[in-house]
């Protein structure tokens, strides 16, 4: 298994990532292709990356990360998407990817890694607890623009 930053867009890579995101989705619905422009913007940004875990030529895990900047804690990392393929869960892929996520955040000068994990995701929540994450009692808000 190899973990690296996504460096190049290809339709096959985009399709494999889309299939993993369907597994992450609560509804399990396919929301269609991810635009090539999104990949290009992600790849060219110094503040965003996608880490991909591969085995042979198959993507078996991904993590999408961003640096958030603020005036008090200057930099925090935010984990948007984190999923391993259901066929490899429980085989240490998530733990290996988690370690690279932490290394990425440290290299970017971040003080914290922040993320959300919804109710009904007990296995994911236990994973985070087992890997030293602190659970906060908070409300998550979203406003469509």
How many Å apart are CA 59 and CA 17, to the nearest integer? 7
How many Å apart are CA 26 and CA 40, to the nearest integer? 26
- Give the residue among 62, 54, 78 at the shortest CA–CA distance from 19: 62
115-130 tens-digit pLDDT: 988 777 888 989 999 9
Edge-to-edge strands of the sheet including 48-55? 2-5, 48-55, 58-69, 75-84, 113-114
**Sign of dihedral through CA atoms 127, 4, 65, 16?**
negative
Residues 6+ apart with CB under 8 A from 38: none
* Residue 13 pLDDT: 96
Domains of the chain and any CATH numbers: 2-130 (3.40.630.30)
How far is CA 10 from each of CA 7, 63, 87, 109, rounded to the nearest angstrom? Answer: 10, 18, 23, 30
**Residue 11 confidence (pLDDT) above 80:** yes
Q: pTM for the whole thing? A: 0.89
29-79 tens-digit pLDDT: 777 889 999 999 999 999 999 999 999 999 999 999 999 998 888 899 999
* Residue 27 pLDDT: 66
């Amino acid at each position: 298994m190899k973990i690296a930053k996504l460096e190049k867009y290809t339709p096959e890579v985009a399709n494999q990532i889309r299939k993993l995101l369907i597994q992450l989705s609560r509804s399990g619905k396919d929301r269609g292709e991810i635009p090539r422009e999104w990949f290009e913007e992600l790849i060219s940004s110094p503040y965003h990356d996608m880490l991909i875990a591969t085995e042979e030529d198959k993507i078996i895990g991904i993590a999408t990360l961003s640096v958030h900047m603020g005036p008090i804690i200057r930099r925090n990392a935010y984990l948007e998407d984190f999923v391993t393929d259901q066929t490899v869960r429980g085989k240490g892929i998530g733990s290996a990817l988690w370690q690279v996520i932490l290394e990425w955040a440290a290299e970017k000068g971040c003080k914290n890694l922040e993320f959300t994990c919804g109710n009904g995701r007990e296995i994911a929540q236990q994973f985070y607890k087992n890997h030293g994450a602190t659970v906060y009692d908070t409300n998550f808000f979203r406003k469509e623009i």
